[in-house]
Amino acid sequence: TLYGLQVNQDPFGLVVYRQRGGQVLLNTTVAPLFFADQFLQISTSLPSRFISGLGEHLTPLVLDTAWTRVTLWNRDMAPVPQVNLYGSHPFYLGMEDGGSAHGVFLLNSNAMDVLLQPSPALTWRTTGGILDFYVFLGPDPKSVVRQYLDVVGFPFMPPYWGLGFHLCRWGYSSTAITRQVVANMTAARFPLDVQWNDLDYTDAKRDFTFNKKSFKDYPEMVQDFHRRGLRYIMIVDPGISSSGPPGTYKPYDEGLKRGVFIRNATGQPLIGKVWPGPTAFPDFTNPETHEWWHEMVKDFHDQVPFDGMWIDMNEPSNFVEGSQDGCPNNSLEQPPYVPGVFGGRLQAGTICASSQQYLSSHYNLHSLYGLTEAIASHDSITPYQVGCGALGLLLPPLPPCTSPAAGAFSVGSMPEALRSPDALCAPSAEVLLFNLFGVPLVGADICGFVGDTSEELCVRWTQLGAFYPFMRNHNDHGARPQEPYAFSPAAQAAMRNALHLRSSLLPFLYTLFHRAHSAGETVARPLFLEFPKDPNTWAVDRQLMWGGGLLVTPVLEAGKTKVSGYFPAGTWYSLAGDSTIHSKGQWILLQAPLDTINVHVRAGHILPLQEPAFSTAESRKKGMALVVALTPDGFARGDLFWDDGESWQTFEKGDYTEILFLATHGAVLSQLLRASAHLDGVLLEAPGCISACTPGGQDTPLGSDTPWAPSWPILTVLTLPSPPQVLRVPVSLPMWEQFVIAWS
């Protein structure tokens, strides 16, 4: 075995250690175990102070072990430090001397505190449940994440269009305005895949309704978007309006008849208050609720052929404390120990802890509410996922509230990002942490949701957001416009280049999502996952990697035209092909004018790219290119996963193409590991350069008649010295056939 287990009887405690080297991973003998009704406490020593995880909070990648209290209890709360936020992930990954790693997961959904101590040590305090621990031995951090996902579930495979650019705002108050937004994006030559609407589309903010005046042509608008190759997503909150006369609102009438709502202490539906006013809350632990929810989703989809559901407010959020009638005075509402929840009471900002659900009390199930709604919503849209013509695949639900296993059923939305005049308040740390939690399709609201962002920082945020796995610009109704076309020509050019760059990299990104779905890998990952033996990488959270081959070093502050980035030992090529870094493991100062984001390819990797277009429906038909970044001994490797971009479970059904690319001894070859018809017609013949990667950064519009400058068409081979020798090979080869390209 890889581990040893020592059990102490008096006082009771467990010690888990590695057989090789004897490193202690878990030692609960350092403090007494408390196991009482509504209070459980257990402590452990830690091998080092480098601990990541325990979300969701506004924290750096590495948690501070100097008496930090981390509270887990889902809360609808604008992101501020030291406050429990939307999700709960009682999992941490710890680094050890020498680069080994382990993980610990507490399978417990009750409110809890986790106290980090400088010795270093960690104490769990939970208000109920049991102490059901999983210890993951790694021994490397990638293996720890995969082992954790073996328990909670691998992430779902998103549709290809879900990786495109999404645009949303609370304040698109009519179909006319929503249509104009899309028209403006087209006129300004910005890629756009998915248009969204917030609550503006609803009738009196009620679920499964639409305003017959301002959105009178709502179904036609969505159908028009489909004809243009765009997709459409709208918000759906869990709270169901309860104030209308009987017989006037089917979701509530049917739900009441079928007993699907969470009940108060008297056995009646608990009534809180959310956007539509008095509101009942569906109990998604009840199988009958799933059937009812499915029918409501189907009825609305029959009217409006949407492509995805944005399920929001599912902490669950409540504008009154507990309920409109208050909460009972009992031990569930006033437990003997209250973790450090914002507001000081479990019912603050949500419903009564003593309210009853099908499986148990809300006291025990609160932090699972978003997950159970995501499962019900996922199951509800499944019937529409195949054979629906222009609709194609529906994007799984997007909840802000996440829990372990959320990545298997939904997209992850980070907190509604605050804006600052000086710096981005949603750096890459949250994206990296959610990938460790098994929710790789994640991203913050680009340019921020609360307040106003300067033009400069919105450009920088768009550049960073181009490397969020999930890319959405979302805005509050009272803020200045922040659609890409709302800025100066220079800012638009920089944003357009960032969007073009992302669009060109989508084949590579889609392949990373396939590996996440099929093998439990991360998509956006911290440097320490790739370089665990380099302690300098352990705390780096202002850079991120896509897979093991692409390193992104964004600018996060205003007024900066240079940025410092850490480059682990090895050779790194600028994706623009204009420089090479030979690092011994060091910090390097990079030039970063406003129109530039520094992206480097790690030697030894081959990236598949594709010519960008206004939407992924168009870009998937364009020519492809390969960027080959050779090691000093002339080797590189990469792969491509390709299916129809829409259907569910193509990997499980074997309906996909997979290609291995190898470069060695002056040649690059493709090996067809699995073939399907989905690549038919796609050629390795990108007709020009992706403009964002052109040295000099000339901005060339999508859809123009001007050919792109051929700075790296078709096959780009990056090799030593610095600046790199760039070999560009003009070929035209079918991607669905094996090929060999040699050079001398």
- Active-site residue list: 312, 315
- Six-digit token string for 416: 């509604």
Query: How far is Cα 480 from Cα 113, in angstroms, rounded to an integer?
Result: 38
Q: Are 468 and 445 in contact (CB under 8 A)?
A: no
Angle between helices 489-519 and 455-465 (to 10 degrees): 30
Residue 29 CB coordination number (10 Å) = 17
Name the phi and psi angles at 308, rounded to 5.
-170, 160
DSSP per-residue letters across 417-435: PBP-SSB-SS-THHHHHHH
- Residue type at 464 in one-letter notation: L
Pick from 236, 170, 228, 233: nearest CA to 198: 170
Alpha helices in 466-550 (DSSP H): 489-519, 527-530
- Strands (E) in 48-95, as ranges, are 51-55, 68-72, 89-95
Q: Are 716 and 625 in contact (CB under 8 A)?
A: yes
Q: Which residues contact 627 (CB under 8 A, 6 or more apart)?
A: 575, 601, 606, 607, 609, 712, 716, 718
Residue 721 CB coordination number (10 Å) = 9
Query: How far is Cα 2 from Cα 22, in angstroms, rounded to an integer?
Result: 10
Q: Three-state SS for 24?
A: strand
Name the phi and psi angles at 442, rounded to 5.
-140, 150
The answer to whether the Cα torsion of 210, 212, 217, 219 is positive or negative is: positive
Pick from 59, 101, 107: nearest CA to 80: 59
Pick from 342, 343, 346: nearest CA to 327: 346
- Residue type at 466 in one-letter notation: A
When computed from its CA atoms, the radius of gyration of the chain, rounded to whole angstroms, is 26
Q: Which residues contact 334 (CB under 8 A, 6 or more apart)?
A: none
Residue 287 CB coordination number (10 Å) = 11
| DSSP one-letter code for 557 | B
